[in-house]
Copies of this chain bind each other. A is one copy, B any other.
Amino acid sequence: MSFLELCRKRQSVRRYREERVAREKIERCLEAARLAPSACNSQPWRFIIVDDPELKNQVASATFSRVVPFNRFTIKSPVIVVLVIEPGNISSRFGGLIKDRQFNLLDAGITAEHFCLQATQEGLGTCIIGWFDEKKIKDILDIPSGKRIGLLISLGYPGDRLREKDRKHMEEIRSYNSYTG
């Protein structure tokens, strides 16, 4: 599968089959994430794989509420991955401070996407989740209070079919040699 084919196949999966995911596959997703680049190679990330059914349900329950119900699908996801943002190294923190840029968020996006793309290659489906009750999840997983959770990833065998991608046209997102091109 070429990389462009992989990009077309990766989609946000919000319906999962009831089938457990072998840790061997998860480890290959983690290996892809481990190899991701980061500002000053600081690798400011830690992955907690929640595949214990009871704990997973607790974490899933912290991603939605009656008012904000759209992550309810996580209840059916057999695995949830929690990406904790670790402090970067001194160069990346200094650079980010001076330039008012949160490099560790850029880095979190990159490594999470490596994880999701390898999951696609493994025949698995993922959905990156940015809306959750951070404090509750930190309590459930014994994450030190000073840390921040960057995002969650739901993971499992997809119950959805491949959808047509809804994206902006190329002309709207690229130009050559000036902003308006």
Q: Measuring CB to CB, which residues of chain A are less than 8 angstroms from any residue of chain B?
A: 1-4, 6-8, 10-12, 23, 27-28, 30-37, 39, 41, 43, 45-52, 55, 84, 95-96, 99, 101-103, 105-110, 112-114, 116-118, 120-121, 128, 130-132, 134, 141-144, 147, 150-151, 165-168, 170, 172-181
Select A130's contact among B46, B106, B116, beta carbons within 8 Å: B106
- Cβ contact of A117, chosen from B3, B106, B134, B151, cutoff 8 A: B3
Nearest CB in chain B to that of A109: its residue: B109
Q: Which residues of B contact A175 (CB under 8 A)?
A: 46-49
- B143 near A174: Cβ-Cβ < 8 Å: no
Q: Which one of B32, B105, B132, B173 contacts A3 once the chains associate, using CB atoms below 8 Å?
A: B32
Cβ of B4 and Cβ of A3 under 8 Å apart?
A: no
Across the interface, A106 reaches (CB within 8 A) one of B37, B50, B84, B109, namely B109
Contact of B35 with A165 in the complex, beta carbons under 8 Å: yes
User: Smallest CB-CB separation from A33: which chain B residue?
Assistant: B173
Report if A84-B179 is in contact (Cβ < 8 Å); known contacts: A49-B174, A106-B151, A113-B113.
yes
Chain B residues closer than 8 Å to A143, beta-carbon distance: 179
Nearest to A103 among chain B residues (CB) is B130
The answer to whether A3 and B112 have CB atoms under 8 Å apart is no
A37-B128 in contact (CB<8A): yes
Assess whether B114 is in contact with A176, with CB atoms less than 8 Å apart: no
Q: Given the complex of chains A and B, what is the CA–CA distance between A47 and B171 in angstroms?
A: 10
Contact A114 B43 (CB under 8 A): no
Instruction: Considering the complex, give the chain B residue whose CB is closest to the CB of A127.
Output: B37
> In the complex where A109-B109, A110-B110, A173-B45 touch, is A3 in contact with B130 (Cβ < 8 A)?
no
Task: Report the bound CA distance from A99 to B62 in whole Å.
Answer: 13
